[in-house]
Amino acid sequence: MPETPQQDGARRASIGARRNPAAEAAILAAARDLLAERGYAGFSIDEVARRAGAGKPTIYRWWPTKADLLIDVYSAEKAAIIAAPETGALWSDILDYTRALWAFWRGTPSGRTFRALIAEAQAGEAALRALRDKFLPERLKDLRLMFERAAARGDIDATAVDALVELYIGFNWVRLLTDRIADDPPGIEAMARTLAGAPPGKAQ
């Protein structure tokens, strides 16, 4: 009879609040696979624990909510695929980054379920805290880097970085939440040039 994770020994070791790298990797892989198979609606901590051979208390100790775990899955997938471009001009950095981001949203399990996570955050305080206090500060580092580089070059006012980042998020989340993230180079370029203050159709 095939061995299950429990039969082979085998619940992966937990070392308290400090994460065991092998157990963490197994949980994230199980969560990513479950998202791919069942989507957000079919995602459960029980099933992640079963697939990873991990105890639910371990998962909840490291990820207090479903949203926390999904955010880490999303972050790991995104970091492996997307990096902040450095083209020398803010508008083209934004263009390249946004096209890659939309492709990620369309083409990966966590990207395809991110819209559901945003929706849950509107109805649940725990998901809202995870999105606002954990996801945004961490996942906006690459985005802020593009705007901060532009400010260092003198292309934009450094005091405008925070506002420009929020305007960028607003454009992208409106497109995501209304399911309009098919690749749209002209539309994305128009937004990018507007935020960067670059004239239409001209190099910055």
Question: pLDDT for 74-94, tens place per residue?
Answer: 999 998 999 999 999 999 999
Q: Is the pLDDT of residue 5 over 90?
A: no
Distance CA 79, CA 1 (A): 39
pLDDT digits (tens, 9 = 90+) for 24-73: 999 999 999 999 999 988 999 999 999 999 999 999 999 999 999 999 99
Hey, do 1-62 and 70-196 end up sharing a CATH topology, with the first three levels equal? no
Q: Is the pLDDT of residue 98 over 90?
A: yes
The mean pLDDT value for 124-135 works out to 89
Give 13 or 180, the one with higher predicted confidence: 180
Domain range 70-196, CATH class: mainly alpha
The mean pLDDT value for 168-197 works out to 96
Distance CA 180, CA 182 (A): 6
Q: Is the pLDDT of residue 12 over 70?
A: no
At 2 the pLDDT is 39
| Percent of the chain surpassing pLDDT 70 | 90
At 7 the pLDDT is 38
Residue 4 to residues 25, 45, 57, 59, 161, Cα–Cα distance (Å): 18, 18, 19, 19, 51
- 1-62 in CATH: which number? 1.10.10.60
Q: Is the pLDDT of residue 126 over 50?
A: yes
At 202 the pLDDT is 53
CB 156 within 8 A of CB 147: yes
At 81 the pLDDT is 92
Q: Which of 18-22, 73-77, 97-101, 116-120 has the lowest mean pLDDT?
A: 18-22
Q: Where are the domains of the chain?
A: 1-62, 70-196
pTM beyond 0.85? no
The mean pLDDT value for 180-192 works out to 96
Tabulate helix, strand, coil % of the chain (nearest 5). 70, 0, 30
Give the relative orientation of helices 45-52 and 66-81 as an angle to the nearest 10 degrees.
60
Query: What is the gyration radius of the CA atoms in the chain, in angstroms?
Result: 20
To the nearest whole number, what is the mean pLDDT of the chain?
88
At 161 the pLDDT is 96
At 150 the pLDDT is 97
